[in-house]
Structure 1
Protein backbone atom coordinates (compact mmCIF):
# COMPACT_ATOMS: atom_id res chain seq x y z
CA UNK A 1 0.00 0.00 0.00
CA UNK A 2 2.86 2.39 0.81
CA UNK A 3 4.39 1.78 -2.63
CA UNK A 4 1.07 2.60 -4.28
CA UNK A 5 0.89 5.92 -2.40
CA UNK A 6 4.46 6.74 -3.42
CA UNK A 7 3.62 6.03 -7.06
CA UNK A 8 0.50 8.18 -6.96
CA UNK A 9 2.39 10.99 -5.28
CA UNK A 10 5.19 10.78 -7.84
CA UNK A 11 2.68 10.89 -10.70
CA UNK A 12 0.94 13.87 -9.10
CA UNK A 13 4.25 15.71 -8.73
CA UNK A 14 5.13 15.07 -12.38
CA UNK A 15 1.67 16.26 -13.46
CA UNK A 16 2.10 19.46 -11.43
CA UNK A 17 5.56 20.07 -12.87
CA UNK A 18 4.34 19.37 -16.41
CA UNK A 19 1.56 21.90 -15.91
CA UNK A 20 3.96 24.45 -14.43
CA UNK A 21 6.34 23.89 -17.35
CA UNK A 22 3.56 24.63 -19.84
CA UNK A 23 2.48 27.78 -17.98
CA UNK A 24 6.02 29.10 -17.61
CA UNK A 25 6.83 28.35 -21.25
CA UNK A 26 3.73 30.26 -22.36
CA UNK A 27 3.68 33.18 -19.93
CA UNK A 28 7.07 33.27 -18.22
CA UNK A 29 8.00 32.50 -14.62
CA UNK A 30 7.39 36.05 -13.41
CA UNK A 31 3.70 35.71 -14.32
CA UNK A 32 3.23 32.27 -12.78
CA UNK A 33 0.72 32.33 -9.93
CA UNK A 34 0.21 29.36 -7.67
CA UNK A 35 -3.57 29.75 -7.86
CA UNK A 36 -3.42 29.58 -11.68
CA UNK A 37 -1.16 26.55 -11.50
CA UNK A 38 -3.55 24.77 -9.14
CA UNK A 39 -6.51 25.52 -11.41
CA UNK A 40 -4.67 24.46 -14.57
CA UNK A 41 -3.54 21.22 -12.90
CA UNK A 42 -7.01 20.50 -11.52
CA UNK A 43 -5.95 20.37 -7.87
CA UNK A 44 -6.58 22.46 -4.80
CA UNK A 45 -4.07 25.10 -3.79
CA UNK A 46 -3.47 23.12 -0.59
CA UNK A 47 -2.54 20.05 -2.63
CA UNK A 48 -0.23 22.16 -4.78
CA UNK A 49 1.53 23.69 -1.77
CA UNK A 50 1.77 20.29 -0.06
CA UNK A 51 3.40 18.71 -3.10
CA UNK A 52 5.61 21.50 -4.45
CA UNK A 53 5.83 24.18 -1.78
CA UNK A 54 6.30 27.80 -2.75
CA UNK A 55 6.63 29.36 -6.19
CA UNK A 56 10.40 29.46 -5.67
CA UNK A 57 10.41 25.73 -4.99
CA UNK A 58 8.38 25.18 -8.18
CA UNK A 59 10.99 27.12 -10.14
CA UNK A 60 13.83 25.19 -8.57
CA UNK A 61 12.09 21.85 -9.20
CA UNK A 62 11.43 22.76 -12.83
CA UNK A 63 15.02 23.81 -13.37
CA UNK A 64 16.43 20.75 -11.60
CA UNK A 65 14.22 18.46 -13.67
CA UNK A 66 15.45 20.06 -16.89
CA UNK A 67 19.06 19.69 -15.74
CA UNK A 68 18.46 15.98 -15.08
CA UNK A 69 16.81 15.52 -18.49
CA UNK A 70 19.70 17.33 -20.13
CA UNK A 71 22.22 15.12 -18.32
CA UNK A 72 20.56 11.99 -19.74
CA UNK A 73 20.99 13.38 -23.26
CA UNK A 74 24.57 14.40 -22.50
CA UNK A 75 25.37 10.89 -21.30
CA UNK A 76 24.02 9.43 -24.55
CA UNK A 77 26.10 11.94 -26.55
CA UNK A 78 29.23 11.03 -24.60
CA UNK A 79 28.61 7.31 -25.10
CA UNK A 80 28.56 7.70 -28.89
CA UNK A 81 32.29 8.47 -28.85
CA UNK A 82 33.99 5.87 -26.66
CA UNK A 83 37.69 6.46 -26.30
CA UNK A 84 37.69 9.91 -27.94
CA UNK A 85 37.45 12.48 -25.18
CA UNK A 86 37.42 15.51 -27.51
CA UNK A 87 34.70 14.13 -29.76
CA UNK A 88 32.63 12.96 -26.79
CA UNK A 89 32.80 16.31 -25.00
CA UNK A 90 32.12 18.23 -28.22
CA UNK A 91 29.05 16.09 -28.93
CA UNK A 92 27.75 16.46 -25.37
CA UNK A 93 28.29 20.21 -25.26
CA UNK A 94 26.70 20.73 -28.67
CA UNK A 95 23.71 18.64 -27.55
CA UNK A 96 23.32 20.81 -24.43
CA UNK A 97 23.63 24.09 -26.35
CA UNK A 98 21.11 23.05 -28.98
CA UNK A 99 18.72 21.73 -26.34
CA UNK A 100 18.92 25.00 -24.42
CA UNK A 101 18.30 27.03 -27.58
CA UNK A 102 15.15 25.02 -28.35
CA UNK A 103 13.83 24.59 -24.80
CA UNK A 104 10.82 26.82 -23.98
CA UNK A 105 11.63 26.75 -20.27
CA UNK A 106 15.18 27.98 -20.88
CA UNK A 107 13.86 30.72 -23.15
CA UNK A 108 11.38 31.73 -20.43
CA UNK A 109 14.27 31.86 -17.96
CA UNK A 110 16.08 34.42 -20.08
CA UNK A 111 13.02 36.64 -20.24
CA UNK A 112 12.55 36.62 -16.45
CA UNK A 113 14.07 38.89 -13.85
CA UNK A 114 17.36 37.88 -12.25
CA UNK A 115 16.12 38.54 -8.72
CA UNK A 116 12.74 36.81 -8.81
CA UNK A 117 12.65 34.77 -12.01
CA UNK A 118 14.12 31.45 -12.98
CA UNK A 119 17.29 33.00 -14.39
CA UNK A 120 18.74 33.09 -10.89
CA UNK A 121 18.99 29.28 -10.90
CA UNK A 122 21.63 29.67 -13.61
CA UNK A 123 23.24 32.90 -12.40
CA UNK A 124 23.04 33.72 -8.69
CA UNK A 125 21.86 30.33 -7.31
CA UNK A 126 23.34 27.69 -9.61
CA UNK A 127 24.81 25.43 -6.92
CA UNK A 128 22.15 22.71 -7.07
CA UNK A 129 22.19 22.51 -10.86
CA UNK A 130 25.97 22.51 -11.06
CA UNK A 131 26.24 19.90 -8.30
CA UNK A 132 23.84 17.59 -10.16
CA UNK A 133 25.56 18.09 -13.50
CA UNK A 134 29.09 17.78 -12.12
CA UNK A 135 28.29 14.62 -10.14
CA UNK A 136 26.71 12.91 -13.15
CA UNK A 137 29.46 13.97 -15.55
CA UNK A 138 32.24 13.01 -13.12
CA UNK A 139 30.73 9.57 -12.57
CA UNK A 140 30.53 9.02 -16.31
CA UNK A 141 34.06 10.33 -16.95
CA UNK A 142 35.52 8.14 -14.20
CA UNK A 143 34.21 5.06 -15.95
CA UNK A 144 34.91 6.17 -19.52
CA UNK A 145 38.38 7.62 -18.98
CA UNK A 146 39.86 5.93 -15.91
CA UNK A 147 43.38 6.97 -16.96
CA UNK A 148 42.65 10.61 -16.07
CA UNK A 149 43.69 11.33 -12.50
CA UNK A 150 40.76 12.31 -10.25
CA UNK A 151 41.92 15.90 -9.66
CA UNK A 152 42.34 16.63 -13.38
CA UNK A 153 39.06 14.89 -14.13
CA UNK A 154 37.19 16.98 -11.54
CA UNK A 155 38.67 20.21 -12.97
CA UNK A 156 37.85 19.15 -16.53
CA UNK A 157 34.27 18.28 -15.62
CA UNK A 158 33.79 21.54 -13.77
CA UNK A 159 35.21 23.50 -16.70
CA UNK A 160 32.96 21.68 -19.17
CA UNK A 161 29.80 22.31 -17.14
CA UNK A 162 30.52 25.94 -16.35
CA UNK A 163 31.75 26.87 -19.82
CA UNK A 164 28.68 25.22 -21.32
CA UNK A 165 26.40 27.17 -18.96
CA UNK A 166 28.22 30.35 -19.93
CA UNK A 167 27.68 29.61 -23.62
CA UNK A 168 24.01 28.84 -22.99
CA UNK A 169 23.63 32.32 -21.57
CA UNK A 170 25.74 34.17 -24.11
CA UNK A 171 27.73 32.84 -27.00
CA UNK A 172 29.30 34.60 -29.94
CA UNK A 173 29.74 31.42 -32.01
CA UNK A 174 27.62 28.57 -33.33
CA UNK A 175 26.83 25.64 -31.02
CA UNK A 176 29.25 23.47 -33.00
CA UNK A 177 32.11 25.96 -32.72
CA UNK A 178 31.42 26.62 -29.03
CA UNK A 179 31.37 22.87 -28.44
CA UNK A 180 34.69 22.42 -30.28
CA UNK A 181 36.34 25.16 -28.20
CA UNK A 182 35.01 23.82 -24.91
CA UNK A 183 36.06 20.27 -25.84
CA UNK A 184 39.58 21.46 -26.61
CA UNK A 185 39.79 23.28 -23.25
CA UNK A 186 38.51 20.21 -21.40
CA UNK A 187 40.94 17.90 -23.19
CA UNK A 188 43.89 20.11 -22.24
CA UNK A 189 42.76 20.34 -18.62
CA UNK A 190 42.41 16.55 -18.54
CA UNK A 191 45.97 16.19 -19.83
CA UNK A 192 45.22 15.08 -23.39
CA UNK A 193 47.81 16.26 -25.89
CA UNK A 194 46.98 19.15 -28.20
CA UNK A 195 46.00 18.29 -31.74
Structure 2
Protein backbone atom coordinates (compact mmCIF):
# COMPACT_ATOMS: atom_id res chain seq x y z
CA UNK A 1 0.00 0.00 0.00
CA UNK A 2 1.58 3.35 -1.01
CA UNK A 3 2.04 5.94 1.64
CA UNK A 4 -0.38 8.86 1.68
CA UNK A 5 2.30 11.29 0.47
CA UNK A 6 3.06 9.12 -2.55
CA UNK A 7 -0.63 8.81 -3.39
CA UNK A 8 -1.13 12.57 -3.12
CA UNK A 9 1.90 13.21 -5.33
CA UNK A 10 0.51 10.86 -7.95
CA UNK A 11 -2.89 12.56 -7.84
CA UNK A 12 -1.32 15.97 -8.20
CA UNK A 13 0.80 14.84 -11.13
CA UNK A 14 -2.28 13.33 -12.81
CA UNK A 15 -4.21 16.55 -12.27
CA UNK A 16 -1.40 18.64 -13.73
CA UNK A 17 -1.25 16.35 -16.77
CA UNK A 18 -5.00 16.75 -17.24
CA UNK A 19 -4.80 20.55 -17.04
CA UNK A 20 -1.90 20.64 -19.48
CA UNK A 21 -3.74 18.40 -21.95
CA UNK A 22 -6.91 20.48 -21.72
CA UNK A 23 -5.10 23.80 -22.19
CA UNK A 24 -3.11 22.38 -25.10
CA UNK A 25 -6.37 21.26 -26.71
CA UNK A 26 -7.86 24.69 -26.14
CA UNK A 27 -4.86 26.28 -27.85
CA UNK A 28 -5.25 23.97 -30.85
CA UNK A 29 -8.91 24.90 -31.20
CA UNK A 30 -8.13 28.61 -30.86
CA UNK A 31 -5.77 28.31 -33.81
CA UNK A 32 -8.64 26.85 -35.84
CA UNK A 33 -11.44 29.23 -34.80
CA UNK A 34 -12.42 32.16 -32.60
CA UNK A 35 -12.94 31.70 -28.86
CA UNK A 36 -16.60 32.70 -29.23
CA UNK A 37 -17.10 29.64 -31.47
CA UNK A 38 -15.55 27.15 -29.04
CA UNK A 39 -17.60 25.25 -26.45
CA UNK A 40 -16.56 23.19 -23.46
CA UNK A 41 -17.87 20.19 -25.38
CA UNK A 42 -15.41 20.96 -28.20
CA UNK A 43 -12.51 21.11 -25.77
CA UNK A 44 -13.60 17.96 -23.94
CA UNK A 45 -13.86 16.06 -27.22
CA UNK A 46 -10.44 17.27 -28.38
CA UNK A 47 -8.88 16.30 -25.04
CA UNK A 48 -10.66 12.96 -24.81
CA UNK A 49 -12.39 13.62 -21.49
CA UNK A 50 -15.99 14.29 -20.45
CA UNK A 51 -17.51 17.73 -20.07
CA UNK A 52 -18.10 16.90 -16.42
CA UNK A 53 -14.36 16.40 -15.98
CA UNK A 54 -13.79 19.92 -17.32
CA UNK A 55 -16.43 21.34 -15.00
CA UNK A 56 -14.90 19.50 -12.03
CA UNK A 57 -11.43 20.87 -12.77
CA UNK A 58 -12.13 24.39 -14.07
CA UNK A 59 -15.61 25.16 -12.79
CA UNK A 60 -16.82 26.99 -15.89
CA UNK A 61 -15.85 28.23 -19.33
CA UNK A 62 -14.55 31.39 -17.65
CA UNK A 63 -12.47 29.30 -15.26
CA UNK A 64 -10.94 27.51 -18.21
CA UNK A 65 -10.04 30.75 -19.98
CA UNK A 66 -8.57 32.07 -16.73
CA UNK A 67 -6.37 28.98 -16.44
CA UNK A 68 -5.20 29.57 -20.00
CA UNK A 69 -4.49 33.22 -19.21
CA UNK A 70 -2.31 32.12 -16.31
CA UNK A 71 -0.11 30.52 -18.94
CA UNK A 72 0.43 33.96 -20.44
CA UNK A 73 1.45 35.27 -17.03
CA UNK A 74 3.86 32.36 -16.63
CA UNK A 75 5.26 33.10 -20.08
CA UNK A 76 6.07 36.66 -19.02
CA UNK A 77 7.83 35.43 -15.89
CA UNK A 78 9.78 32.78 -17.79
CA UNK A 79 11.02 35.28 -20.37
CA UNK A 80 12.09 37.86 -17.78
CA UNK A 81 13.69 35.19 -15.60
CA UNK A 82 15.68 33.88 -18.58
CA UNK A 83 16.70 37.43 -19.52
CA UNK A 84 17.93 38.11 -15.98
CA UNK A 85 20.04 34.95 -16.12
CA UNK A 86 21.38 35.81 -19.55
CA UNK A 87 22.27 39.45 -18.83
CA UNK A 88 24.19 39.39 -15.57
CA UNK A 89 24.83 42.92 -14.32
CA UNK A 90 22.90 44.60 -17.15
CA UNK A 91 19.47 45.52 -15.79
CA UNK A 92 18.30 47.41 -18.86
CA UNK A 93 19.19 44.60 -21.23
CA UNK A 94 17.40 42.09 -18.98
CA UNK A 95 14.19 44.10 -18.91
CA UNK A 96 14.35 44.92 -22.61
CA UNK A 97 14.99 41.34 -23.72
CA UNK A 98 12.50 39.74 -21.35
CA UNK A 99 9.64 42.07 -22.21
CA UNK A 100 10.39 41.99 -25.95
CA UNK A 101 10.29 38.18 -26.03
CA UNK A 102 7.04 38.15 -24.08
CA UNK A 103 5.44 40.61 -26.49
CA UNK A 104 6.44 38.44 -29.44
CA UNK A 105 4.89 35.32 -27.87
CA UNK A 106 1.78 37.17 -26.69
CA UNK A 107 1.15 38.62 -30.13
CA UNK A 108 1.25 35.12 -31.62
CA UNK A 109 -0.89 33.49 -28.92
CA UNK A 110 -4.27 32.38 -30.33
CA UNK A 111 -6.24 33.55 -27.27
CA UNK A 112 -4.72 37.04 -27.54
CA UNK A 113 -5.38 37.05 -31.27
CA UNK A 114 -8.98 36.08 -30.57
CA UNK A 115 -9.26 38.88 -28.02
CA UNK A 116 -8.05 41.48 -30.50
CA UNK A 117 -10.00 40.21 -33.52
CA UNK A 118 -13.57 41.08 -34.42
CA UNK A 119 -16.09 42.27 -31.87
CA UNK A 120 -15.12 43.01 -28.28
CA UNK A 121 -14.99 39.89 -26.09
CA UNK A 122 -15.73 41.19 -22.63
CA UNK A 123 -15.11 37.82 -20.94
CA UNK A 124 -11.52 37.71 -22.22
CA UNK A 125 -10.93 41.42 -21.66
CA UNK A 126 -11.97 41.12 -18.01
CA UNK A 127 -9.34 38.42 -17.47
CA UNK A 128 -6.54 40.95 -17.89
CA UNK A 129 -8.34 44.03 -16.54
CA UNK A 130 -11.09 43.92 -13.91
CA UNK A 131 -10.55 40.25 -13.05
CA UNK A 132 -6.78 40.23 -13.42
CA UNK A 133 -6.11 39.75 -9.71
CA UNK A 134 -5.21 36.04 -9.91
CA UNK A 135 -2.86 36.65 -12.85
CA UNK A 136 -1.17 39.58 -11.12
CA UNK A 137 -0.75 37.71 -7.84
CA UNK A 138 0.55 34.55 -9.49
CA UNK A 139 3.03 36.27 -11.79
CA UNK A 140 4.16 38.77 -9.15
CA UNK A 141 4.95 35.98 -6.69
CA UNK A 142 6.96 34.02 -9.26
CA UNK A 143 8.79 37.03 -10.66
CA UNK A 144 9.55 38.37 -7.20
CA UNK A 145 11.33 35.09 -6.47
CA UNK A 146 13.38 35.53 -9.65
CA UNK A 147 14.59 38.95 -8.52
CA UNK A 148 15.46 37.60 -5.08
CA UNK A 149 17.30 34.45 -6.18
CA UNK A 150 19.50 35.90 -8.91
CA UNK A 151 22.38 38.34 -9.19
CA UNK A 152 19.89 41.12 -8.42
CA UNK A 153 19.49 39.69 -4.89
CA UNK A 154 16.73 42.14 -4.00
CA UNK A 155 14.87 41.84 -0.70
CA UNK A 156 11.37 40.33 -0.73
CA UNK A 157 9.83 43.79 -0.35
CA UNK A 158 11.97 45.29 -3.15
CA UNK A 159 11.30 42.33 -5.41
CA UNK A 160 7.56 42.56 -4.93
CA UNK A 161 7.53 46.24 -5.87
CA UNK A 162 9.39 45.79 -9.15
CA UNK A 163 7.71 42.48 -10.03
CA UNK A 164 4.20 43.83 -9.50
CA UNK A 165 4.91 46.96 -11.54
CA UNK A 166 6.42 45.00 -14.41
CA UNK A 167 3.62 42.43 -14.52
CA UNK A 168 0.86 45.03 -14.34
CA UNK A 169 2.38 47.18 -17.08
CA UNK A 170 3.28 44.28 -19.38
CA UNK A 171 -0.21 42.75 -19.18
CA UNK A 172 -1.79 46.13 -19.92
CA UNK A 173 -0.16 46.03 -23.36
CA UNK A 174 -2.06 42.88 -24.36
CA UNK A 175 -5.43 44.55 -25.15
CA UNK A 176 -3.70 47.72 -26.41
CA UNK A 177 -0.48 46.73 -28.24
CA UNK A 178 2.18 49.43 -28.77
CA UNK A 179 1.51 51.67 -31.73
CA UNK A 180 3.75 51.93 -34.78
CA UNK A 181 7.14 53.41 -34.03
CA UNK A 182 6.94 52.76 -30.28
CA UNK A 183 9.61 50.55 -28.74
CA UNK A 184 7.71 49.46 -25.67
CA UNK A 185 10.38 47.06 -24.33
CA UNK A 186 13.00 49.82 -24.51
CA UNK A 187 10.66 52.32 -22.89
CA UNK A 188 9.86 49.92 -20.06
CA UNK A 189 13.53 49.17 -19.49
CA UNK A 190 14.26 52.90 -19.23
CA UNK A 191 11.37 53.35 -16.81
CA UNK A 192 11.98 50.38 -14.51
CA UNK A 193 15.75 49.91 -14.53
CA UNK A 194 16.66 52.80 -12.18
CA UNK A 195 14.83 51.12 -9.32
CA UNK A 196 16.89 47.94 -9.63
CA UNK A 197 20.09 49.88 -10.34
CA UNK A 198 19.53 51.77 -7.06
CA UNK A 199 19.20 48.46 -5.23
CA UNK A 200 22.49 47.23 -6.70
CA UNK A 201 24.26 50.51 -5.91
CA UNK A 202 23.07 50.47 -2.30
CA UNK A 203 24.37 46.94 -1.88
CA UNK A 204 27.81 48.00 -3.14
CA UNK A 205 27.92 50.94 -0.72
CA UNK A 206 27.03 48.68 2.18
- TM-score of the superposed pair, with normalisation by structure 2: 0.79
8 Å CA contact retained: 2:91, 2:197: no
- After TM superposition, give the deviation of residue 126 of structure 1 in Å: 1.1
**For residues 83-118 of structure 1, what are the alpha-carbon distances to aligned partners after superposition, in whole Å with 9 as ceiling and x for unaligned?**
1111111111111111111222221232364432x2
8 Å CA contact retained: 2:145, 2:159: no
More deviation, 59-68/41-50: 41-50
Alignment partner of 1:44 is 2:56: no
8 Å CA contact retained: 2:87, 2:94: yes
- After TM superposition, give the deviation of residue 62 of structure 1 in Å: 0.8
- Give ranges in structure 1 of 5+ residues lacking alignment: none
8 Å CA contact retained: 1:110, 1:119: no
**For residues 40-76 of structure 1, what are the alpha-carbon distances to aligned partners after superposition, in whole Å with 9 as ceiling and x for unaligned?**
2222222222233210111111111232233223211
Aligned match of 2:186 in 168, 180, 184?
Answer: 180
- Give ranges in structure 2 of 5+ residues lacking alignment: 200-206
2:204 alignment partner in structure 1: none
Q: How does 1:1-195 map to 2 (within 5 A)?
A: 2=7, 3-111=9-117, 113-116=120-123, 118-143=124-149, 144-146=151-153, 153-168=159-174, 169-173=176-180, 177-190=183-196, 192=198
Cα separation, partners in 2 of 1:136 and 1:36, compared to 1, 3 Å: same
- TM-score of the superposed pair, with normalisation by structure 1: 0.83
